[in-house]
Amino acid sequence: MLVVRPITMDDYDALHKCAVESGHGFTSLPVNEELLTNRIQHSEYSFGKPDVSEPGDEGYLMVGFDSETGEIAGTTGIEASIGWDVPFYSYHISKVVHSSPKLGVNNVVKLLTFGNNYTGCSEICTLFLRPDFRKGLNGRLMSKCRFMMMAEHPERFSETIFAEMRGVSDADGNSPFWQWLQEHFFSIEFTLADYLTGIGKKGFIADLMPKLPIYINLLSKEAQAVIGQVHDNTKPALKLLEREGFCCRDYVDIFDGGPTVECDLKNIESVRHSFRASVQISEHSSSQDYLISNTSFENFRATTAKAAYDQETESVLLSEEVAKALQVEEGSKVRMLAL
C-alpha cells in the first residue's frame, strides 16, 4: 500500500535519488545537497507551524512510501504563497491587432509579456513518481492528496492554485524555446539556467531577460512550435490536472515555454467532491476504491483503499491495516473521495 506523509530529514537520500531520476527541466528538485536539505527543513518547519490562518512562506513537501517495505516511491508538494521572498516570473501570451483599413490589412499578432502575475498564489509542485511505482492508483494518489489537504485546511492556501508544467526539451536537456532566448539575450545553456533557478539564484533573469514584449512570430519556428506544449513525461500529470478543472490561461514558463495551468481552489473537482466520514474499523467486502486522508495537518496521511461508505450514517468501514496507515482510530474523522 502506498501512503503519503510529510517528508522528514531521514528521507534525504530518497529525495536525492528522486532529484537524480527526475532529470533535466525538473526545476523544483535540483541535485544539490544544500538546497534539498533546506527544502526538507523548511517543510518540517511549515508542517509544525501552528494556527496558520492565511498562506505565507510555508512550503509543504510530502513523500509516498510503501507501507510494507518503507521504500520511498516519489514526492509531491505545495508552496502556500509564491513570489514574495524570491520573485516568480512567467510569460503571458497576449494579442495585438495591426490594422490598416486603407490597405485592407488586419493582422492579429501574439506577444510574450514578462511579468509576476502569480505572486501570492499557491503552487502545486514537485510531483515525481519513480518508474517502478507508476502503476495502479499511485499517480492519482500523489496528485490528488494535495487537494484533499486543501479541502480540509483551505485557510492555509490561496484562492488560486496553479502548476507549472515541464516544457519540451530533448534527452540532453536542450530546449528549443530557450535556444532562441539564449541566442539573442543569454550566453548560458538551458540546463545551467534551469539549475540556477532551481537553487534560487534568479537574479540573472531580471538582469538579462527582455523587459519589452516579444513578438512570437519573430521567434524561430522550432521555438514557436513548443510554446504551451509539455514534455512527454509530463503528459500524464497534465491530464490529471485537466480532469480536476485546471486549464492554461495563456501563461507559459520563461525557460522552456511549458504551460502554466490554474484553477480556483473551490472549483477543483477533488475539493468539490470530497467529504468527511466517521471511521469504523472492521473487515468488509466493498470493491469501491477511495482516496482517503486523515484530518490532521502536522501528521497528514493519505492513501487509496477499498472502503464501505454509508451515506445515511456518514460513516465508513476501514480495515485495520488502512486505519493504521492513516493513523486513525474508531470514531476518528477522515476525508474521502470516490475514485
Q: What is the pLDDT of residue 300?
A: 98
Q: What is the pLDDT of residue 133?
A: 95
Going by C-alpha positions, the residue among 227, 89, 239, 241 that lies closest to residue 167 is 227
Low-confidence ranges of the chain (pLDDT < 70): 24-25, 27, 186-208
| Burial letters 96-134, b for 16+ CB under 10 A, else e | eeeeeeeeeeeeeebbbbbeebbebbbbbbbbbbbeebe
Q: What is the pLDDT of residue 219?
A: 92
Going by C-alpha positions, the residue among 327, 313, 304, 332 that lies closest to residue 140 is 304
Q: What is the pLDDT of residue 153?
A: 97
Instruction: Tell me how far apart the alpha carbons of residues 143 and 124 are, in angstroms, rounded to a whole number.
Output: 9
User: Does residue 184 have an active-site annotation?
Assistant: no
User: Rounded to the nearest 5 degrees, what angle is found at the Cα of 187, between the Cα atoms of 186 and 189?
Assistant: 100
Q: What is the pLDDT of residue 174?
A: 80
Q: What is the pLDDT of residue 339?
A: 93
Q: What is the pLDDT of residue 255?
A: 83
Give alpha helix (H) positions in the chain: 12-22, 33-47, 138-152, 176-184, 190-198, 203-208, 221-226, 235-243, 269-273, 320-326
Domains of the chain, residue spans: 2-90+116-270, 275-338
- Going by their DSSP bridges, the two strands 259-264 and 289-294 should be labelled as unpaired
Looking at the domain covering 275-338, what would its CATH class be? mainly beta
Candidates 42, 92, 231, 284; catalytic one: 231
Q: What is the pLDDT of residue 185?
A: 73
Fold adopted by 2-90+116-270: Aminopeptidase (3.40.630)
Average pLDDT over the chain reads: 91
